């Protein structure tokens, strides 16, 4: 059995994932769905949970049991389409990057203003 076929679903750009976060009513949700990864790093998921643009969701790749555990990655929900006939919505995602700490920006010679 090819371990790569355990991860991909319908092709090279579709993966099984687990998505978690807080929906529009501020209820925590966890869903298993597919992640589409298109050229130019464009990612989207199909979700049944009703989420707002700008909210943060965590996406974890569902890997075969034989491989190492994967960790969730934070994404910002950008846009979403209308619900389809099954009640799912396609949501575009953008990966969130950690911000530099005050010490890191000061060490780089950048002017940083500390806000209390």
Tens digit of pLDDT for each residue in 24-73? 999 999 999 999 998 887 899 999 999 999 999 999 999 766 566 788 99
CA distance 23 to 80: 13
- Residues ≥6 apart with Cβ < 8 Å to 7: 15, 16, 61, 62, 63, 64
Domains, the chain:
3-107 (2.40.10)
pTM of model > 0.85: no
Could you tell me what percent of the chain has a pLDDT over 70? Answer: 71
Tokens 């989207």 found at: 44
CA distance 20 to 74: 10
């Amino acid at each position: 059995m090819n371990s790569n076929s355990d991860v991909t679903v319908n092709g090279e750009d579709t993966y099984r994932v687990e998505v978690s976060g807080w929906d529009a009513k501020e209820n925590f949700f966890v869903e298993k769905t597919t992640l589409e990864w298109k050229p130019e790093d464009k990612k989207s998921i199909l979700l049944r949970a009703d989420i707002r643009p700008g909210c943060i969701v965590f996406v974890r790749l569902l890997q075969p049991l034989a491989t190492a555990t994967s960790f969730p990655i934070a994404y910002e929900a950008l846009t979403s389409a209308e619900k389809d006939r099954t009640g799912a919505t396609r949501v575009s995602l953008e990966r969130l990057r950690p911000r530099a700490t005050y010490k890191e920006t000061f060490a780089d010679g950048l002017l940083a203003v500390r806000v209390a």
